[in-house]
Amino acid sequence: MSGVERIEQVFRKLNQAGSAAFMPYHAMGYPTRQQSLDVITTLAEAGADLVEIGIPHSDPLADGPTIQTATYAALVGGTTVVDCLQMVRELRAKGVDTPFCAMSYYNPILAYGEESFVAAAASAGVDGLIVPDLPPGESELLEPACREAGLATIYMLAPTSTEERIRSVARHATGFIYLVSVTGITGARDELPPGLPAFVERVRRHTELPLAVGFGISTGPQAAKVAEIVEGVIVGSALVKAAGSDAGVEAVRSLAEQLAVGSHNGKVV
């Protein structure tokens, strides 16, 4: 089964159950290499339906201070692209079978070699790829390589996206489309933006792909509200902050379980 098919299977199963997917993000190598493996294993155990594997980058433009701090610490600790893929292999060898989407900025992929990176990612056990700073119109090499390897190509849309951009993403995306809930960077927020439902409906007019919302979600009740209007709930900063706390993995487990319940609308899936 290809990565695209594995992601599609998750959304199909959850749709039949009347639930949205809980989709946590974690930065590989943070707080340490082993702890990041423990965090991702814990997220899978706590109800994650798909995990975003963050590949650290020195200039994460879309990320807020929490994830910037985490990725910087991972880089200082020696985390590389090669090491991130090796960690994916180790997680798969341990039996973690939750679909993984690697989230990386373009420069590390370019330095690795686009086709080589996609082949290595697929071999390691990655199912999809999110590149925040690579629009579909500039992915002439990466997208065909993903298609050949069976990896999903996930693109982002923001509330400021034009109709033309929405149509372009709808044509090129596979797996799901990532909707950025606010104009700005990642980070936990107290309230969801009031314009989110209208933004979701704008995108739905152009695609039948599952839609997942990220940026700003940090609590179970917020996840539940998002799950009412889209197929996926993405949470990053709040969980990364928990991973870096004194309670570490246990703090991640507690928060992830609440977010999973919210995303699943109180249902066990």
Q: Is 90 a catalytic residue?
A: no
Which pLDDT band, with edges at 50, 70 and 90, does 60 fall under? low
- Single out the catalytic residue among 52, 114, 127, 231: 52
The pTM (predicted TM-score) of the whole model is: 0.93
**pLDDT, position 153:** 98
**pLDDT, position 191:** 60
- Single out the catalytic residue among 63, 114, 143, 231: 63
**pLDDT, position 187:** 40
**pLDDT, position 188:** 45
Which pLDDT band, with edges at 50, 70 and 90, does 189 fall under? very low
**pLDDT, position 184:** 45
Percent of the chain residues past pLDDT 90, beyond the cut? 85
**pLDDT, position 181:** 79
**pLDDT, position 186:** 47
**pLDDT, position 183:** 53
Which class would CATH give 3-266?
A: alpha beta
**pLDDT, position 204:** 97
| Model confidence pLDDT, tens digit, residues 65-101 | 888 889 999 999 999 999 999 999 999 999 999 999 9
Which pLDDT band, with edges at 50, 70 and 90, does 167 fall under? very high
What's the mean per-residue pLDDT of the chain? 92
What per-residue string of b and e applies to 156-190 under the rule 16 or more CB within 10 Å gives b? bbbbebeeebbebbbebbbbbbbbbbbeebbbbbe
8 pLDDT higher than 60: yes
| Model confidence pLDDT, tens digit, residues 218-251 | 999 999 999 999 999 999 999 999 999 999 999 9
Over residues 204-220, mean pLDDT: 94
Percent of the chain residues past pLDDT 70, beyond the cut? 92
Q: Is 83 a catalytic residue?
A: no
